[in-house]
Amino acid sequence: MKNGKLLRWMKRAGVLLTVAMLSACGEEYLQSTIDPVTDFGEVSHNLYVQVFWWTMIILAVVWALMAYILIRFREKPGQDRPKQIHGHMGLEIAWTIAPAIIVVAIVIPTIQGVFETQRPPDEDALVVEVTGKRYWWNFHFPEQGVTTANELHLPVGRPISLRLESGDVIHSFWVPQLGGKRDVNPVVAVPEGEEPKRNWMHFTIKEEGVFWGQCAEFCGEAHSLMGIRVVAESEEEFQAWLTDWHTPAPTANAPEPVGGQADTERPAGEPGAEAQTAVNQAVAEDPLVARGREVFFRETTCVLCHAIQGTAAPGIIGPNLTRMGSRSTIAAGMLENTPENLALWIKDPLSVKPGSEMPGAQYGAAIAGVQYPATNLNDEQIQALAAYLSSMR
């Protein structure tokens, strides 16, 4: 390449690079590692910042030396061969000791950080048992008696300890703004009386917000589609969410016929009239929702795998669907939670998430070696199911 051509090419590349860099500004990054919101996240972020500045110092020193050498020792016209040297004790010592000091300066805070983030759980911490499964996340609050999936509500300003374990293969829990990745391992059997080894993760969240994460250990076909959302909210909002979870959504169960007189009208003023009004109001619910409830509990297999708190649905193979309508996404972050998308998911989950282990209308699924049949649902049943699940907010 001629010099002029090379220069033009470099100019163009420079412009492109600048445009690319500028266009990266101002975006919202859902999984940023450089914007920690917990003490745990800050430990690794501070380390990252320290190492960054060390490398910047090294870069500056190397470039400064290079510039000095290029100018100071450049060949001058008529110059003799420069003095030849072999080895320089002072230099050898300097370039051995300087990097050693830098390595020690990085190692000390690294080891401190490892111990700080691997400590035993705090006594008063809010414990959440996190179970990674192909390809979704189960979140169980043992003290609060709450089980939910994929969307984890947590309070800010309180120590939290996540106990990580896998229901099948190795996964890794990673919500970058909360902190580093941590392996989610299957629990290995131990002699009686011993506590099986599990990984923990401890942090206190400092900011409200929704923080996105992702399984970070290859676990199978839909590994990259195994998202996590952490909803960090105030203590009051978190308590309200717990209470909601324990209170069945108004549409979760069929309205109870009051006093066994559900279908006879009573004129106002007569005994039982008030109860009758209540029944009539309850019966006025969306017929599609009522139909969906009927399909869910009587016409298909959903309850084999899914539970809904406060109803007769007991399944534990798939995600707990309590207050499903209030989740913002479906299937570990794959779809926005709308009735249309729910219908799509129930009909044909593999079209949404290839590799998923939920059976569709036309095909079954194998979970842990057990084959579950296709649900064989028609579109009317599917629309109704979607309306029922959406109604539970």
Contacts with Cu ion, 168-197, as mask; x by CB under 5 A: ---x--------------------------
Task: Name the residue nearer to ligand HEC (CB basis): 136 or 174.
Answer: 136
Identify residues 219-278 at the interface with Cu ion (CB under 5 A): 219, 223, 226
Partner whose footprint covers residue 357, from Cu ion, ligand HEC, none (CB < 5 to 8 Å by kind): ligand HEC
Interaction of residue 130 with ligand HEC, rule CB under 6 A? no
Identify residues 341-360 at the interface with ligand HEC (CB under 6 A): 342, 345-346, 353, 356-359
Partner whose footprint covers residue 219, from Cu ion, ligand HEC, none (CB < 5 to 8 Å by kind): Cu ion
Partner whose footprint covers residue 154, from ligand HEC, Cu ion, none (CB < 5 to 8 Å by kind): none
49 dihedral zone (left: phi>0; alpha: psi -120 to 50; beta):
alpha
Identify residues 96-115 at the interface with ligand HEC (CB under 6 A): none
Least distance from ligand HEC to the Cβ atom of residue 332, Å? 5
Structure tokens at 205: 């969240």
Interaction of residue 276 with ligand HEC, rule CB under 6 A? no
Select from 164, 279, 332, 387 the one that contacts ligand HEC (CB under 6 A). Answer: 332
Chain residues in the site for ligand HEC (CB under 6 A): 135-136, 149-150, 222, 300-302, 304-306, 317-319, 321, 324, 330-332, 342, 345-346, 353, 356-359, 365, 367, 372, 375, 377, 385, 389
Chain residues in the site for Cu ion (CB under 5 A): 171, 215, 219, 223, 226
